[in-house]
Amino acid sequence: MDVRARYFIEPKSRSEILTLLNYRSMIRMPFLVLGGGSNMLFTGNFEGLVIHISSKGIQWKEDVDGTVLVTAEAGELWDDLVGFCVGKGWAGLENLSLIPGTVGAAPVQNIGAYGVEVKDCIESVHYVMTDSGKEMHLKSGECQFGYRDSIFRNSLKRRCIILDVTFRLSAGDSEEKPGTAHLKLDYGTIRKELEDQGISSPTIADVRNVVCAIRRRKLPDPAEIGNAGSFFRNPVVDEATRDRLSSAFPTLPSFPDTTGKYKIPAAWLIQQCGWKGFRDGDAGVHAMQPLVLVNYGLASGEQITSLMQRIIESVQNRFGILLQSEVNII
């Protein structure tokens, strides 16, 4: 989207982030903390301060239980961190390969893919309050993680800046003992992809390579066509609602989650309503993945949100399910 900020600043270290908070006149104006911008849709110019976090650095240490604690600065690119950890033979993040964005944004919406959520590996989150400049730590269990949700999207939204995130990973692969990590292979087509490649004893690197290949096939490259990845959350319903929908729509797919409820693929709902491949001017629904809204060139943020609302209404009218945006609309 061709949008502008009234003010823009790019702190490249933790100390620069903390120094920024001393300029109270800047923080009193509307501000927006930006990571990679991969999960944001701007509907117009931002009449305030955009703070683009660009701090870099990765540190690690082995714990007594054989795990590794990895602390990454908020501005590190997420997939760079995943690649770094896989290269070291540390297991846990490989299913989250090729997700765009930065480390600091990962816990905000509890990013997830292929049977893994980032909360599964987070040890703690280190952040600073914008009103007081006080640095704080939250353990994973205190972050109120949920499906694409956390305390950082709710009570701490726009009240803090994440400085770094610490992950607890398994020291799984090494040259002496490859493939000993506890890998998660049963979500989506990971296991089939491995079998197709003749890999019977996969390593962490094998899983990362397969996940990257699947994502490249399924999702459009933002460098080639504007998109924010999956635009909608998969709705979660109780058993009674799932049974009612399955009775009316026998081909309805559903998957149990950890809370005893069921996830319904939003992509299936959208496709059933005829939106796959739809285009209105330069705003459209991707031809291969109906979960992705795309900008073919000159679509405005308002045109994308208008298309979003039309999709939400059609799904609700047909299935009685209210889709929710996974994208932050500014």
48-73 pLDDT per residue, tens: 999 999 999 999 999 888 899 999 99
Q: pLDDT at residue 178 above 50?
A: no
Say which of 73, 117, 193, 326 is annotated catalytic: 326
Provide mean pLDDT across the span 282-291.
Answer: 93
Same domain, 180 and 119: yes
Same domain, 150 and 91: yes
Q: What is the dihedral of CA 143, 61, 95, 87, to 10 degrees?
A: 160
Same domain, 325 and 284: yes
Q: pLDDT at residue 228 above 80?
A: yes
Total count of domains within the chain: 3
Same domain, 230 and 210: no
Question: Which tokens go with 301?
Answer: 């943020």
Q: Look at residue 15 in the predicted model and tell me its pLDDT.
A: 92
Q: Look at residue 257 in the predicted model and tell me its pLDDT.
A: 82
Q: pLDDT at residue 179 above 60?
A: no
Same domain, 27 and 145: no
pLDDT tens digits along 101-128? 999 999 999 999 888 999 999 999 999 9
Q: Tell me what the pLDDT averaged over the chain comes to.
A: 90
- What's the residue count for the chain? 330
CB 58 within 8 A of CB 84: yes
Same domain, 169 and 311: no
Kind and range of the H or E run holding 25: helix 24-28
Q: Look at residue 148 in the predicted model and tell me its pLDDT.
A: 87
Q: Does residue 135 fall inside a structural domain?
A: yes
Number of other CB atoms surrounding residue 155 within 10 Å: 10
Tell me which of 216, 237, 254 is where a domain ends: 216
Q: pLDDT at residue 22 above 90?
A: no
Same domain, 45 and 63: no
Q: pLDDT at residue 188 above 80?
A: no
pLDDT tier, 38 (very low <50, low <70, confident <90, very high otherwise): confident
Same domain, 88 and 188: yes
Q: Say which CATH number the domain at 303 has.
A: 3.90.78.10
pLDDT tens digits along 122-174? 999 999 998 888 999 999 999 999 988 999 999 999 899 999 999 999 986 54
Q: Does residue 221 fall inside a structural domain?
A: no
The pLDDT > 90 percentage for the chain reads 69
Same domain, 136 and 232: no
Tell me which of 216, 242, 277 is where a domain ends: 216
Say which of 230, 233, 242, 254 is annotated catalytic: 230
Distance CA 10, CA 277 (A): 37
Q: Among 62-66, 94-98, 139-143, 285-289, which stretch is predicted with the lowest mean pLDDT?
A: 62-66
Q: Say which CATH number the domain at 24 has.
A: 3.30.43.10
Residue 235 domain boundaries: 226-329
Q: Does residue 149 fall inside a structural domain?
A: yes
pLDDT tier, 175 (very low <50, low <70, confident <90, very high otherwise): very low
Q: Look at residue 59 in the predicted model and tell me its pLDDT.
A: 97
Q: Does residue 26 fall inside a structural domain?
A: yes
Distance CA 294, CA 229 (A): 9
Identify whether 230 is a catalytic site residue.
yes
Say which of 148, 168, 208, 233 is annotated catalytic: 148
Q: Does residue 273 fall inside a structural domain?
A: yes
Q: Does residue 295 fall inside a structural domain?
A: yes
Same domain, 77 and 48: no
Same domain, 64 and 48: no
Same domain, 14 and 122: no
Q: Does residue 40 fall inside a structural domain?
A: yes
Question: Which tokens go with 58?
Answer: 């990765």
Q: pLDDT at residue 292 above 90?
A: yes
Strands annotated E in 119-270: 122-129, 135-139, 160-171, 226-230, 236-237, 255-256, 262-263
Identify whether 148 is a catalytic site residue.
yes
Backbone angles phi, psi at 327, to 5 degrees: -90, 140
Q: Look at residue 177 in the predicted model and tell me its pLDDT.
A: 47
